[in-house]
Amino acid sequence: MFSLTSALVFASIFTAGFATSPAQLVAELRDAPTAAARVGLLNTDDQFVFDFFNSPNKTVGAGGEIVLASSATFPAVIGNGAAMAIGILEPCGMNTPHTHPRATEIQFNVNGTLQTGMITENGARFIMTELKPGQMTIFPQGSVHFQFNDGCSPALFVSGFNSEDPGALQIAQRFLGLPADIIAATLGDIGVEEVIGVADIVPDNAALGTDACLQRCGLKRTAQDTKQAQPRVSGNAFPSGVSASAWATASGW
Protein backbone atom coordinates (compact mmCIF):
# COMPACT_ATOMS: atom_id res chain seq x y z
CA MET A 1 0.00 0.00 0.00
CA PHE A 2 1.22 3.50 -0.82
CA SER A 3 1.52 5.07 2.63
CA LEU A 4 2.21 8.68 3.54
CA THR A 5 5.66 7.66 4.83
CA SER A 6 6.67 6.03 1.58
CA ALA A 7 5.35 9.07 -0.28
CA LEU A 8 7.58 11.34 1.87
CA VAL A 9 10.61 9.06 1.44
CA PHE A 10 10.00 9.00 -2.28
CA ALA A 11 9.59 12.78 -2.37
CA SER A 12 12.88 13.39 -0.53
CA ILE A 13 14.83 10.95 -2.75
CA PHE A 14 13.26 12.60 -5.76
CA THR A 15 14.12 16.20 -4.76
CA ALA A 16 17.65 15.30 -3.59
CA GLY A 17 18.55 14.63 -7.19
CA PHE A 18 17.88 18.25 -8.15
CA ALA A 19 19.99 21.37 -7.68
CA THR A 20 19.01 23.15 -4.47
CA SER A 21 16.87 26.24 -4.89
CA PRO A 22 18.43 29.62 -3.97
CA ALA A 23 16.43 29.70 -0.73
CA GLN A 24 17.54 26.15 0.19
CA LEU A 25 21.18 27.03 -0.50
CA VAL A 26 20.94 30.12 1.73
CA ALA A 27 19.38 27.98 4.50
CA GLU A 28 22.13 25.36 4.18
CA LEU A 29 24.89 28.00 4.21
CA ARG A 30 23.39 29.57 7.35
CA ASP A 31 23.18 26.14 8.99
CA ALA A 32 26.72 25.07 8.10
CA PRO A 33 28.85 24.31 11.18
CA THR A 34 32.02 25.92 9.76
CA ALA A 35 33.21 28.34 7.10
CA ALA A 36 35.00 25.43 5.44
CA ALA A 37 31.68 23.61 5.20
CA ARG A 38 30.18 26.67 3.52
CA VAL A 39 32.93 26.62 0.89
CA GLY A 40 32.03 22.97 0.31
CA LEU A 41 28.40 23.89 -0.26
CA LEU A 42 29.41 26.44 -2.91
CA ASN A 43 30.79 23.78 -5.20
CA THR A 44 31.31 25.70 -8.45
CA ASP A 45 33.79 28.55 -8.87
CA ASP A 46 31.21 30.72 -10.61
CA GLN A 47 29.31 30.91 -7.31
CA PHE A 48 32.15 33.22 -6.22
CA VAL A 49 31.50 35.67 -9.07
CA PHE A 50 28.79 38.33 -9.03
CA ASP A 51 28.21 40.24 -12.27
CA PHE A 52 26.92 43.71 -11.39
CA PHE A 53 26.41 44.64 -15.04
CA ASN A 54 24.23 41.58 -15.75
CA SER A 55 22.21 41.00 -12.60
CA PRO A 56 18.43 40.58 -12.69
CA ASN A 57 18.30 41.81 -9.08
CA LYS A 58 18.28 45.59 -9.17
CA THR A 59 16.29 48.58 -8.00
CA VAL A 60 15.38 50.64 -11.04
CA GLY A 61 13.89 54.08 -11.47
CA ALA A 62 13.93 56.88 -14.04
CA GLY A 63 17.18 58.20 -12.51
CA GLY A 64 19.20 54.99 -12.68
CA GLU A 65 19.67 51.69 -10.91
CA ILE A 66 21.17 50.19 -7.77
CA VAL A 67 22.47 46.61 -7.89
CA LEU A 68 23.20 44.82 -4.60
CA ALA A 69 25.30 41.71 -4.07
CA SER A 70 24.12 40.47 -0.67
CA SER A 71 23.17 37.20 1.06
CA ALA A 72 20.02 36.99 -1.08
CA THR A 73 21.68 37.56 -4.45
CA PHE A 74 25.28 36.43 -3.84
CA PRO A 75 25.26 33.63 -1.23
CA ALA A 76 29.08 33.49 -1.10
CA VAL A 77 28.94 36.47 1.30
CA ILE A 78 27.04 34.45 3.90
CA GLY A 79 29.05 34.20 7.10
CA ASN A 80 31.44 36.94 5.96
CA GLY A 81 29.59 40.06 7.13
CA ALA A 82 30.06 41.98 3.89
CA ALA A 83 28.05 43.06 0.87
CA MET A 84 28.58 45.40 -2.07
CA ALA A 85 26.41 47.55 -4.28
CA ILE A 86 26.92 49.62 -7.37
CA GLY A 87 24.87 52.59 -8.41
CA ILE A 88 24.56 53.74 -11.99
CA LEU A 89 23.03 57.19 -11.84
CA GLU A 90 21.77 58.62 -15.10
CA PRO A 91 22.36 62.33 -15.83
CA CYS A 92 20.74 64.20 -12.88
CA GLY A 93 19.83 60.84 -11.30
CA MET A 94 19.53 60.51 -7.52
CA ASN A 95 19.67 57.64 -5.07
CA THR A 96 16.90 59.10 -2.91
CA PRO A 97 17.35 59.66 0.85
CA HIS A 98 17.54 56.33 2.68
CA THR A 99 19.17 54.50 5.56
CA HIS A 100 20.73 51.05 5.92
CA PRO A 101 19.37 49.46 9.09
CA ARG A 102 22.19 46.93 9.49
CA ALA A 103 25.33 48.38 7.93
CA THR A 104 27.76 51.22 7.60
CA GLU A 105 28.47 52.06 3.97
CA ILE A 106 31.75 53.18 2.44
CA GLN A 107 31.19 54.61 -1.00
CA PHE A 108 33.77 54.97 -3.76
CA ASN A 109 33.07 57.24 -6.71
CA VAL A 110 34.35 55.71 -9.96
CA ASN A 111 33.56 58.48 -12.42
CA GLY A 112 31.46 61.59 -12.78
CA THR A 113 31.02 63.95 -9.83
CA LEU A 114 28.61 62.89 -7.10
CA GLN A 115 27.02 65.00 -4.43
CA THR A 116 26.22 63.15 -1.23
CA GLY A 117 24.40 64.39 1.84
CA MET A 118 23.98 62.83 5.27
CA ILE A 119 22.51 63.30 8.73
CA THR A 120 23.67 60.66 11.18
CA GLU A 121 21.29 61.31 14.09
CA ASN A 122 19.37 63.95 16.06
CA GLY A 123 21.80 66.64 17.19
CA ALA A 124 24.38 65.98 14.46
CA ARG A 125 24.97 68.57 11.75
CA PHE A 126 24.19 67.98 8.07
CA ILE A 127 27.20 66.84 6.02
CA MET A 128 27.43 67.41 2.28
CA THR A 129 30.24 66.14 0.06
CA GLU A 130 31.18 66.48 -3.58
CA LEU A 131 33.02 63.34 -4.66
CA LYS A 132 35.30 63.45 -7.66
CA PRO A 133 36.45 60.25 -9.39
CA GLY A 134 38.66 58.26 -7.02
CA GLN A 135 37.21 59.76 -3.84
CA MET A 136 35.14 58.03 -1.18
CA THR A 137 32.93 58.84 1.76
CA ILE A 138 31.33 56.97 4.66
CA PHE A 139 27.70 56.70 5.75
CA PRO A 140 27.50 55.35 9.31
CA GLN A 141 24.91 52.65 10.03
CA GLY A 142 21.44 54.18 10.35
CA SER A 143 22.41 57.54 8.83
CA VAL A 144 19.99 59.21 6.41
CA HIS A 145 21.88 59.85 3.18
CA PHE A 146 21.53 60.42 -0.54
CA GLN A 147 23.73 60.37 -3.65
CA PHE A 148 23.03 62.74 -6.51
CA ASN A 149 24.66 62.85 -9.94
CA ASP A 150 24.64 66.59 -10.66
CA GLY A 151 26.27 66.01 -14.06
CA CYS A 152 25.01 65.41 -17.58
CA SER A 153 26.69 61.98 -18.08
CA PRO A 154 25.90 58.73 -16.26
CA ALA A 155 28.00 58.16 -13.13
CA LEU A 156 29.08 54.93 -11.46
CA PHE A 157 29.76 54.40 -7.75
CA VAL A 158 30.64 51.36 -5.67
CA SER A 159 29.57 50.83 -2.06
CA GLY A 160 30.84 48.33 0.49
CA PHE A 161 28.77 47.31 3.53
CA ASN A 162 29.77 45.60 6.78
CA SER A 163 26.75 43.31 6.72
CA GLU A 164 25.83 40.56 4.29
CA ASP A 165 22.24 41.88 4.50
CA PRO A 166 22.54 45.67 4.90
CA GLY A 167 18.90 46.41 4.07
CA ALA A 168 17.68 49.77 2.82
CA LEU A 169 14.87 52.00 4.03
CA GLN A 170 13.79 54.75 1.63
CA ILE A 171 12.75 57.71 3.80
CA ALA A 172 9.98 59.18 1.58
CA GLN A 173 8.25 55.91 0.70
CA ARG A 174 8.37 54.58 4.26
CA PHE A 175 7.45 57.83 6.03
CA LEU A 176 4.53 58.43 3.66
CA GLY A 177 3.45 54.83 4.26
CA LEU A 178 2.51 55.61 7.85
CA PRO A 179 -1.17 56.43 8.62
CA ALA A 180 -2.09 59.67 6.86
CA ASP A 181 -3.42 61.40 9.99
CA ILE A 182 -0.19 60.59 11.87
CA ILE A 183 1.85 62.09 9.03
CA ALA A 184 -0.44 65.13 8.87
CA ALA A 185 0.07 65.78 12.60
CA THR A 186 3.82 65.11 12.39
CA LEU A 187 4.10 67.76 9.67
CA GLY A 188 2.41 70.46 11.75
CA ASP A 189 -1.20 69.61 10.98
CA ILE A 190 -1.24 69.78 7.18
CA GLY A 191 -4.30 68.20 5.58
CA VAL A 192 -4.73 64.47 5.14
CA GLU A 193 -5.56 65.17 1.46
CA GLU A 194 -2.17 66.83 1.03
CA VAL A 195 -0.49 63.82 2.63
CA ILE A 196 -2.27 61.46 0.23
CA GLY A 197 -1.40 63.73 -2.70
CA VAL A 198 2.29 63.60 -1.87
CA ALA A 199 2.27 59.87 -1.04
CA ASP A 200 0.82 59.16 -4.48
CA ILE A 201 3.62 60.85 -6.42
CA VAL A 202 6.82 59.69 -4.69
CA PRO A 203 8.99 58.43 -7.56
CA ASP A 204 10.73 55.09 -7.57
CA ASN A 205 14.42 54.95 -6.75
CA ALA A 206 16.71 55.87 -8.40
CA ALA A 207 14.74 59.03 -9.19
CA LEU A 208 15.28 62.14 -11.25
CA GLY A 209 17.10 64.83 -9.29
CA THR A 210 16.89 68.59 -9.12
CA ASP A 211 15.24 70.99 -11.58
CA ALA A 212 18.49 72.97 -11.79
CA CYS A 213 20.38 69.91 -13.06
CA LEU A 214 17.65 68.86 -15.49
CA GLN A 215 17.55 72.37 -16.98
CA ARG A 216 21.35 72.59 -17.26
CA CYS A 217 21.46 69.21 -19.03
CA GLY A 218 18.48 69.99 -21.28
CA LEU A 219 16.41 67.16 -19.79
CA LYS A 220 12.70 66.95 -18.99
CA ARG A 221 11.22 65.52 -15.80
CA THR A 222 9.39 62.58 -17.35
CA ALA A 223 6.63 60.65 -15.57
CA GLN A 224 8.14 58.32 -12.97
CA ASP A 225 6.78 55.04 -11.64
CA THR A 226 5.57 54.90 -8.03
CA LYS A 227 5.71 51.14 -7.50
CA GLN A 228 7.99 51.34 -4.46
CA ALA A 229 5.28 53.00 -2.33
CA GLN A 230 4.61 51.35 1.03
CA PRO A 231 1.81 48.78 0.55
CA ARG A 232 -1.44 49.76 2.24
CA VAL A 233 -2.89 47.31 4.75
CA SER A 234 -5.68 47.93 7.22
CA GLY A 235 -3.46 49.83 9.67
CA ASN A 236 -2.21 52.44 7.20
CA ALA A 237 -5.15 52.54 4.78
CA PHE A 238 -6.12 55.98 3.54
CA PRO A 239 -9.29 57.14 5.34
CA SER A 240 -12.39 56.36 3.30
CA GLY A 241 -14.01 59.28 1.54
CA VAL A 242 -10.80 61.33 1.53
CA SER A 243 -8.92 61.69 -1.69
CA ALA A 244 -6.12 63.75 -3.02
CA SER A 245 -7.85 64.47 -6.30
CA ALA A 246 -9.62 67.75 -5.41
CA TRP A 247 -6.47 69.14 -3.84
CA ALA A 248 -4.30 67.79 -6.67
CA THR A 249 -6.51 69.41 -9.30
CA ALA A 250 -6.59 72.70 -7.41
CA SER A 251 -2.79 72.79 -7.04
CA GLY A 252 -2.15 71.80 -10.63
CA TRP A 253 -0.82 68.25 -10.01
Chain contacts with ligand NAG (rule: CB under 6 A): 56-57, 72-73, 110-112, 153-156
Comparison of 156 and 183: residue with beta carbon closer to ligand NAG:
156
Q: How far apart are the C-alpha atoms of 170 and 149, rounded to whole Å?
A: 18
Name the minimum Å distance from CB 166 to ligand NAG: 13
Q: How far apart are the C-alpha atoms of 155 and 184, rounded to whole Å?
A: 37
Tell the burial category of 127 from Cβ atoms under 10 Å away from its Cβ (0-12, 13-18, 19+): middle
3-class DSSP state of 98: strand
Comparison of 169 and 201: residue with beta carbon closer to ligand NAG:
169
Name the minimum Å distance from CB 240 to ligand NAG: 34
Name the minimum Å distance from CB 49 to ligand NAG: 16
Comparison of 111 and 210: residue with beta carbon closer to ligand NAG:
111
What is the CA 190 to chain-centroid distance, rounded?
Answer: 29
Comparison of 151 and 203: residue with beta carbon closer to ligand NAG:
151
Do 142 and 164 form a contact (C-beta atoms < 8 A)?
no
DSSP-derived secondary structure letter, 67: E
